[in-house]
């Protein structure tokens, strides 16, 4: 049995909870809530006020003038960037922290990192191996910020240290600590900006060799034929075996390891800085992509565990980071891209291929992109597959708190909760504003059985 702390964490909206502080006591008493991770959807942190020193050195303070690139600026909505931006009033957050302190609930600070913001700040954006920006047609999956720019890394670290010194929080669950979701095909070839190239050299990687391997892979993909796919399918390949059929050499896998290790190093650096400033008891971790696509999104769990006190996720399904829908999300972008290079390939066959590459071909999944978007998917089964893979692919040295979105049908929420408890995870992180007695009892029952 795991000796990790058991946690039932609520990924909640700061302003909403601030208006109903009694909901915290209610959830603690009714379902065993241990922890909250509040986010303000206006400023994309928990609602911290940046200190004058942080604001003075902040690279993103001019966001209000960038409404061409960030139209929501006109509504006062901050862009998601890698730190705390000035001018936000922390009154709601302070009320939430005070309440949590008085009733024994932990507070994890929320702060975003790199997978968004590059469209608003092109001067800090990720660049691909040919020094091009990421393709804006994939914007829905994120246009990221470079994780290696020395001035940005320093500033983000300063933000975390500043927050942990000034706010009574128990640590951080950082968000966007990843590359854009792999549905953004162009992001798979990034970040290869000069700072990341320097980082590769420092880490002992041969950037030019990786670039040559990736360039060759891209050429092979563009020359892909229906015949090659047909032949490859006979061997029932996984994703990496399929790349080998295309002639990809080990430098391609090396590339994905390199980019994942860059992020893992940042996590280690940030965790050390936070614990040095705030004390060894401050936890530091993040959400991660689920196992089927984790490496493509920048997460190598074995490395991640070295800079994280726990692993969690953004949501159970839907959106950019939903664990259950991660392969169908990717397939909805990759299938049209494959069809555009292989004349003889139709969308149905392209989707079949992708499902197979990620070990999803035994599910009865839609054979059209429209179907993926509109039809009911076997969410509970797909979610369970990711949880099983997660527990199999991690060391057990760090607690795992999978994400549960509580806004779905109550029967589904119960199935998700049962997946978490039956796979011996250490708790869960739930989002939404659970009200229905069925949903509350699903959370309570699953948590009680852990
Ligand atoms: Zn870079």
- CATH code assigned at 124: 3.20.20.80
Q: How far apart are CA 84 and CA 156, in angstroms?
A: 8
Rounded to an integer, what is the distance from CA 369 to the centroid of its chain?
23
Instruction: Using the mean position of ligand 1's atoms as its centre, give its distance from the Cα of residue 190 in Å.
Output: 7
Instruction: Using the mean position of ligand 1's atoms as its centre, give its distance from the Cα of residue 125 in Å.
Output: 8
Instruction: Using the mean position of ligand 1's atoms as its centre, give its distance from the Cα of residue 284 in Å.
Output: 23
CA angle 122, 123, 125 (to 5 degrees): 55
Instruction: Using the mean position of ligand 1's atoms as its centre, give its distance from the Cα of residue 299 in Å.
Output: 16
Q: Which two tokens stand for residue 51?
A: 């200190």
Q: How far apart are CA 81 and CA 100, in angstroms?
A: 27
CB-based burial label for 178 (10 Å; 0-12, 13-18, 19+): buried
Tell me, yes or no, whether 369 lies in a domain.
Answer: no
Instruction: Using the mean position of ligand 1's atoms as its centre, give its distance from the Cα of residue 295 in Å.
Output: 17
Question: Which SS3 state, helix, strand or coil, does residue 93 take?
Answer: helix
Q: How far apart are CA 297 and CA 340, in angstroms?
A: 23
Q: Give the pLDDT confidence score for residue 430 in this predicted structure.
A: 98
Q: Give the pLDDT confidence score for residue 2 in this predicted structure.
A: 79
Instruction: Using the mean position of ligand 1's atoms as its centre, give its distance from the Cα of residue 287 in Å.
Output: 21
Tell me, yes or no, whether 375 lies in a domain.
Answer: no
Instruction: Using the mean position of ligand 1's atoms as its centre, give its distance from the Cα of residue 398 in Å.
Output: 29
Q: How far apart are CA 240 and CA 320, in angstroms?
A: 23
Number of separate domains in the chain:
1
CA angle 299, 151, 39 (to 5 degrees): 55
Instruction: Using the mean position of ligand 1's atoms as its centre, give its distance from the Cα of residue 149 in Å.
Output: 6
Q: How far apart are CA 24 and CA 101, in angstroms?
A: 11
Tell me, yes or no, whether 189 lies in a domain.
Answer: yes
Tell me, yes or no, whether 15 lies in a domain.
Answer: yes
CA angle 180, 185, 191 (to 5 degrees): 55
Q: How far apart are CA 125 and CA 137, in angstroms?
A: 15
Question: Is 184 in contact with 142 (CB distance < 8 Å)?
Answer: yes
In order along its 450 residues, the chain shows pLDDT tens digits of 679 999 999 999 999 999 999 999 999 999 999 999 999 999 999 999 999 999 999 999 999 999 999 999 999 999 999 999 999 999 999 999 999 999 999 999 999 999 999 999 999 999 999 999 999 999 999 999 999 999 999 999 999 999 999 999 999 999 999 999 999 999 999 999 999 999 999 999 999 999 999 999 999 999 999 999 998 988 999 999 999 999 999 999 999 999 999 999 999 999 999 999 999 999 999 999 999 999 999 999 999 999 999 999 999 999 999 999 999 999 999 999 999 999 999 999 999 999 999 999 999 999 999 999 999 999 999 999 999 999 999 999 999 999 999 999 999 999 999 999 999 999 999 999 999 999 999 999 999 999
Q: Give the pLDDT confidence score for residue 1 in this predicted structure.
A: 60
Q: How far apart are CA 330 and CA 355, in angstroms?
A: 10
For the chain, how far is it from start to end, CA to CA, in angstroms? 9
Q: Give the pLDDT confidence score for residue 328 in this predicted structure.
A: 98
Instruction: Using the mean position of ligand 1's atoms as its centre, give its distance from the Cα of residue 197 in Å.
Output: 7
Q: How far apart are CA 114 and CA 256, in angstroms?
A: 17
Instruction: Using the mean position of ligand 1's atoms as its centre, give its distance from the Cα of residue 188 in Å.
Output: 13
Instruction: Using the mean position of ligand 1's atoms as its centre, give its distance from the Cα of residue 304 in Å.
Output: 19
With a CB cutoff of 8 Å and minimum separation 6, the contacts of 109 are: 37, 45, 46, 48, 163, 164, 167, 169, 171, 172, 173
Regarding pTM above 0.75, the answer is yes
Question: Is 184 in contact with 133 (CB distance < 8 Å)?
Answer: no
Tell me, yes or no, whether 231 lies in a domain.
Answer: no
CB-based burial label for 380 (10 Å; 0-12, 13-18, 19+): buried
Tell me, yes or no, whether 234 lies in a domain.
Answer: no
Instruction: Using the mean position of ligand 1's atoms as its centre, give its distance from the Cα of residue 132 in Å.
Output: 11
Q: How far apart are CA 290 and CA 384, in angstroms?
A: 11
Instruction: Using the mean position of ligand 1's atoms as its centre, give its distance from the Cα of residue 259 in Å.
Output: 9
Question: Which SS3 state, helix, strand or coil, does residue 245 take?
Answer: helix
**What residue has token string 């797909």?**
382
Instruction: Using the mean position of ligand 1's atoms as its centre, give its distance from the Cα of residue 192 in Å.
Output: 5
CA 408 to each of CA 35, 122, 380: distance values in angstroms, whole numbers, following the listed order: 22, 36, 11
Tell me, yes or no, whether 178 lies in a domain.
Answer: yes
Instruction: Using the mean position of ligand 1's atoms as its centre, give its distance from the Cα of residue 256 in Å.
Output: 14
- Residue 444's domain comprises 7-205+262-342+380-448
Tell me, yes or no, whether 364 lies in a domain.
Answer: no
Exposure class string for 29-46: b at 16+ Cβ within 10 A, else e:
eebbbbbbbbbbebbbbb
Instruction: Using the mean position of ligand 1's atoms as its centre, give its distance from the Cα of residue 50 in Å.
Output: 25
CB-based burial label for 66 (10 Å; 0-12, 13-18, 19+): middle
Instruction: Using the mean position of ligand 1's atoms as its centre, give its distance from the Cα of residue 297 in Å.
Output: 15
Instruction: Using the mean position of ligand 1's atoms as its centre, give its distance from the Cα of residue 40 in Å.
Output: 28
With a CB cutoff of 8 Å and minimum separation 6, the contacts of 227 are: none
């Amino acid at each position: 049995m795991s000796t990790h702390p058991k946690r039932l964490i609520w990924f909640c909206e700061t302003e909403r909870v601030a208006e109903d502080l009694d909901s915290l006591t209610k959830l603690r008493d009714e379902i065993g809530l241990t922890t909250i991770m509040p986010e303000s959807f206006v400023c994309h942190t928990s609602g911290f006020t940046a200190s004058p020193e942080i604001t003075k050195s902040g690279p993103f303070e001019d966001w209000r003038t960038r409404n061409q690139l960030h139209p929501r600026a006109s509504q006062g909505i901050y862009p998601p960037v890698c730190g705390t931006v000035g001018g936000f009033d922390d009154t709601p957050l302070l009320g939430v922290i005070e309440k949590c302190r008085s009733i024994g609930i932990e507070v994890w600070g929320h702060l975003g990192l790199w997978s968004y913001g590059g469209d608003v700040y092109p001067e800090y954006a990720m660049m691909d191996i040919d020094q091009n920006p990421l393709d804006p047609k994939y914007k829905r999956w994120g246009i990221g910020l470079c994780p290696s720019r020395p001035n940005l890394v320093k500033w983000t670290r300063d933000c975390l240290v500043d927050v942990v010194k000034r706010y009574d929080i128990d640590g951080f669950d950082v968000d966007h600590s990843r590359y854009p979701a792999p549905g953004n095909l162009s992001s798979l070839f990034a970040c290869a900006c000069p700072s990341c190239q320097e980082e590769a050299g420092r880490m002992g990687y041969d950037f030019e060799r990786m670039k040559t391997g990736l360039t060759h892979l891209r050429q092979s993909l563009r020359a892909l034929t229906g015949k090659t796919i047909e032949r490859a399918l006979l061997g029932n390949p996984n994703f990496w075996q399929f790349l080998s059929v295309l002639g990809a050499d080990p430098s391609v896998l090396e590339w994905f390891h390199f980019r994942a290790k860059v992020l893992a190093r940042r996590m280690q650096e940030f965790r050390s800085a936070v614990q040095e400033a705030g004390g060894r008891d401050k936890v530091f971790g993040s959400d991660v992509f689920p196992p089927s696509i984790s490496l493509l999104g920048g997460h190598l769990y074995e490395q991640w565990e070295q800079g994280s006190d726990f692993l969690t996720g953004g949501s159970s399904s839907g959106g950019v980071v939903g664990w259950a829908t991660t392969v169908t999300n990717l397939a909805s972008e990759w299938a049209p891209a494959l069809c555009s290079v292989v004349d003889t390939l139709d969308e149905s066959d392209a989707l079949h291929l992708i499902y197979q590459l990620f070990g999803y071909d035994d599910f009865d999944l839609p054979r059209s992109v429209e179907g993926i978007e509109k039809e009911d998917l076997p969410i509970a089964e797909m979610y369970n597959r990711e949880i099983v893979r997660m527990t199999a692919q991690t060391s057990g040295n760090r607690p795992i708190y999978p994400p549960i979105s509580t806004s779905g049908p109550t029967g589904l929420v119960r199935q998700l909760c049962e997946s978490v408890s039956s796979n011996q995870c250490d708790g869960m992180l739930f989002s939404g504003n659970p009200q229905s007695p069925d949903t509350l009892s699903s959370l309570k029952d699953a948590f009680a059985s852990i």
